Amino acid sequence: MSVKTFAIITDVHSNAESLTKALSIIEERENVDQVICLGDCFALGPEPEKTLELLLSLNGCIFIRGNHDRYLIESLWNQERPSLEGMDPDDPICQDIVANESWTADQVGEKGLEFIRKMHIAHREQVNGMLVEFTHAWYQRDDQPPSMTEALHWRDHVQATHPNVKNFIFVHGHVHLPRYEEQENLKVLCQGATGLPFDKNRRGAVAFLTVGGEFEWDVVRFEYNYSVSIQKLEERKPPFYRNLQSTLRYAQIRNDV
């Protein structure tokens, strides 16, 4: 019987300090068959260039494009009234985040943009009677994952062309919050975030998913020196950096600085 184990990182957001620790955990884990990154590799954090180099070193890793990665290759900041995730384009918070996207694009340069262009929208694998779909949020949109009702409709659609599949697993990132929902033969999973958690727990997250035999979903929350990332933000002062420092300290969105 074929069994496969995936190691999953997501929502690094240029937090190279956390990513370095995450990759060391994956390296130490036995029997990992595939590393997969669910997107939002860049923007917001202090070290886009170092993050890029770390990701480029992952031979064979499957990279999924996140909405923040997409903003970089679309040059969001050049739009007439740029906005993201439904924010008011006149909101100073929105304007600062857009400015951070522009700053990030300058740091990763054409090498980083080409790396993003090669990313996938989604990745699907079937192992024995299990089908796994990996996305940043959803293949239909990259800034909002499916509700359970939408995911069940997705399951029904896929099952029509995969009648031998008995169990469906949908894995996403984007929300920076852990998710484990199960209904009928469908599981919807999110580990949280590797570099910028929002669940009031400063620890990063790496997930290990084993399919094909017994299903196993193992989320490893790890300590890393987040003060290094806060100091890097202080040194470089990218747009929106004070808000990001607070978000790292409290592990939740903090725009009250």
Listing DSSP states for the chain in one string gives: ---EEEEEE---TT-HHHHHHHHHHHHHSTT--EEEE-S--SSSSS-HHHHHHHHHT-TT-EEBPPHHHHHHHTTGGGSSS---TT--TTSHHHHHHHHHHHHHHHHHHHHHHHHHHT-BSEEEEEETTEEEEEESSBTTBSSSPPPHHHHHHHHHHHHHH-TT--EEEEE--SS-SEEEEEETTEEEEEE--SS---SS---EEEEEEEESSS-EEEEEEE---HHHHHHHHHHH--TTHHHHHHHHHHTS-----
Judge whether residue 256 has pLDDT over 90: no
- pTM of structure: 0.96
Q: Which domains does the chain have, with CATH numbers?
A: 4-250 (3.60.21.10)
* Average pLDDT of the chain, as a whole number: 96
Report pLDDT digits (tens) over 165-222.
999 999 999 999 999 999 999 999 999 999 999 999 999 999 999 999 889 999 999 9
pLDDT at 214: 87
The pLDDT score that the predictor gives to residue 213 is 86
Percent over 90 (pLDDT), the chain: 96
pLDDT score for 180: 98
pLDDT in tens, 18-70: 999 999 999 999 999 999 999 999 999 999 999 999 999 999 999 999 999 99
pLDDT of residue 255: 76
pLDDT at residue 82 in the model:
97
